[in-house]
Chains A and B, each alone.
Chain A
Amino acid sequence: MSYIILNGMSSDDEFIPKVNQIISEEFQQKDIRGDTIILHDKEIKPCLGCFKCWVQTPGICIIDDFGRETAKKMIQSDILVYLTPITYGGYSAELKKAVDRSLGLISPFFRVHENEIHHEMRYDKYPNLVVVGILDKPNPNQEEIFTTLVKRNVLNLFCPKYSTQVIYADDDEITIKKKIEESLREVGA
């Protein structure tokens, strides 16, 4: 089993690296191997919205930078972790930049799933998804948006199992560990 953490923090964040460390340690304890990508450290250009990853070079983004490598690591992992400051209820810009560039992991073709239009799968197997959002303090509106966003992503990205956690900046280490353990359990790790 393998994991990849996409860390969407900003460069001056002092709290998220601690959460990232706890998640990595939890994986190590379970003998699950993997890596973290600190997204702001990487050269990932924004998606051009050109759909060439669907029709010209199917499955591969035409921009040859670390965005390609990130998409490859995402689909080749068993557990994909999004770690992000909750930003207006959604993902951070840094995380979204990588997620946008993963569009080629799904097929351009549509299908009707649960009475809604979604894309078809490109691959036979997709990773389970754990999404960890960080907030300074509880914010019910943004938390509701965030958990709904993850549910919608799961529908569009075919993750067989998923878990969402919200961690507050004043959560102590024991609380954070408990939340991470719970999420990893929910995705079968």
Chain B
Amino acid sequence: MSKQLTFLMCSPRGDKSASHTIGSYVVSLFEEKNIVVKTFEVYKTLRKQERIEEMIKSIDECDIILLSSPLYIDQAPYMTIKLMDIISETFKQSKIQNKTRHLFAISNAGFLEYYHNNLALKIYEQFAIQNELIWAGGLPIGAAGTYATYPIPESLKMLAQLPEDDHRQEIYHKPTKILDSVIKTSVDHLSKGEIVPKDELQKLEFIPMPLEAYVEGGKKGWLEAAEELGTADKLRDKPYER
């Protein structure tokens, strides 16, 4: 019988999000290994009891739970915590059968440094422990917005066309290649019922560009977005100042 995976996509931004783009790529690799995947967009799922019950049924039947969530102010957003509460309550009521299930998580931060995700991943690990899931590890992804627009294989194709001495080789191409490799290795382990070795996940522990460059890039991006809206001179407003 085929293995089953429940994919919990936890970003309110839907298919515009890194949680969707990266998570969907991971899912496609599982499908290539004939693992049956059921996907739940958590922000839509939790609005309807019927859909929640479908999700619980999927978790009951699955071998792997893949949770992909953004990072909001140092931990998962409200809806991801609410999701964990609903799942925990169902386990508590013994409505989910005892079987071996792995939890693998993807945490996506807007900050450049991967380690802003560390606490969120530790929280997911505690959730796993509380519900007797096997914590299989997680991907701490910094500068996650980089991966929101294009699926990783498409990004790699585009980046491969850059000249070898182009500075984007170092700051975009190399990190994307490392992430792709870690994802593929993770899928290999998980599909065999194994946890992902820590030294594999640690390959994501790098900072691909100087912090100041990311700060400047961010500033430019926000100003461009605000200029389109005619709000560039208001970005530092203090509407609630006493």
User: What are the residues of chain B within 8 A of A112 when measuring CB–CB?
Assistant: 211-212, 215
User: What are the residues of chain B within 8 A of A47 when measuring CB–CB?
Assistant: 12, 72, 77-78
- The answer to whether B123 touches A145 (Cβ under 8 A) is yes
- The answer to whether A55 touches B84 (Cβ under 8 A) is no
Q: Which of A48, A60, A91, A117 contacts B113 (CB 8 A)?
A: A117
Prevailing SS type, chain A contact patch: mixed
CA distance A92 to B123 in the complex (A): 12
CB-nearest residue of chain B to A75: B240
User: What are the residues of chain A within 8 A of B23 when measuring CB–CB?
Assistant: none
User: What are the residues of chain A within 8 A of B165 when measuring CB–CB?
Assistant: none
Number of residue pairs spanning A and B whose beta carbons lie under 8 angstroms apart:
145
CA distance A56 to B145 in the complex (A): 19
CA distance A91 to B103 in the complex (A): 21
A110 at the interface (CB under 8 A from B): yes
- The answer to whether B214 touches A145 (Cβ under 8 A) is no
Q: Which of B73, B74, B122 contacts A103 (CB 8 A)?
A: B73
Segment of A20-28, A148-156, A163-171 in the binding face = A148-156
Interface centre among B12, B78, B82, B219 (most CB of A within 10 A): B78
- The answer to whether B78 touches A71 (Cβ under 8 A) is no
Q: Which of B73, B111, B225, B241 contacts A55 (CB 8 A)?
A: B225
Q: Tally chain A residues at the interface, Cβ within 8 Å.
A: 52
Q: Which of B77, B122, B212, B231 contacts A100 (CB 8 A)?
A: B77
B97-135 CB contact bits vs A (8 Å, 1 = yes)?
Answer: 000000000000001110010010011101100100000
Interface centre among B11, B130, B231 (most CB of A within 10 A): B231
Q: Which of B122, B124, B235 contacts A107 (CB 8 A)?
A: B235
Interface centre among A47, A141, A156 (most CB of B within 10 A): A47
- The answer to whether A108 touches B75 (Cβ under 8 A) is no
Query: In chain B, residues 196-242, which have Cβ atoms closer than 8 Å to a Cβ of chain A?
Result: 211-212, 214-215, 218-219, 222, 225-226, 229, 231, 234-242
Query: In chain B, residues 23-49, which have Cβ atoms closer than 8 Å to a Cβ of chain A?
Result: 43
Contacts known (A91-B81, A112-B212); A59 close to B127, Cβ less than 8 A = no
User: What are the residues of chain B within 8 A of A89 when measuring CB–CB?
Assistant: 119, 122-123, 126
A36 at the interface (CB under 8 A from B): no
B191 at the interface (CB under 8 A from A): no
- The answer to whether A60 touches B239 (Cβ under 8 A) is yes
- The answer to whether A109 touches B222 (Cβ under 8 A) is yes
A111 at the interface (CB under 8 A from B): yes
CB-nearest residue of chain B to A77: B242
Query: In chain A, residues 91-127, which have Cβ atoms closer than 8 Å to a Cβ of chain B?
Result: 91-93, 96-97, 99-100, 102-103, 105, 107-112, 115-118, 122-124
B17 at the interface (CB under 8 A from A): yes
Contacts known (A47-B12, A76-B240); A117 close to B81, Cβ less than 8 A = no
B residues neighboring A (CB under 8 Å) = 11-13, 17, 43, 70, 72-79, 81-82, 84-85, 111-113, 116, 119, 122-124, 126-127, 130, 211-212, 214-215, 218-219, 222, 225-226, 229, 231, 234-242
A residues neighboring B (CB under 8 Å) = 46-50, 54-60, 71-72, 75-76, 87-93, 96-97, 99-100, 102-103, 105, 107-112, 115-118, 122-124, 141-142, 145, 148-149, 152-153, 156-157
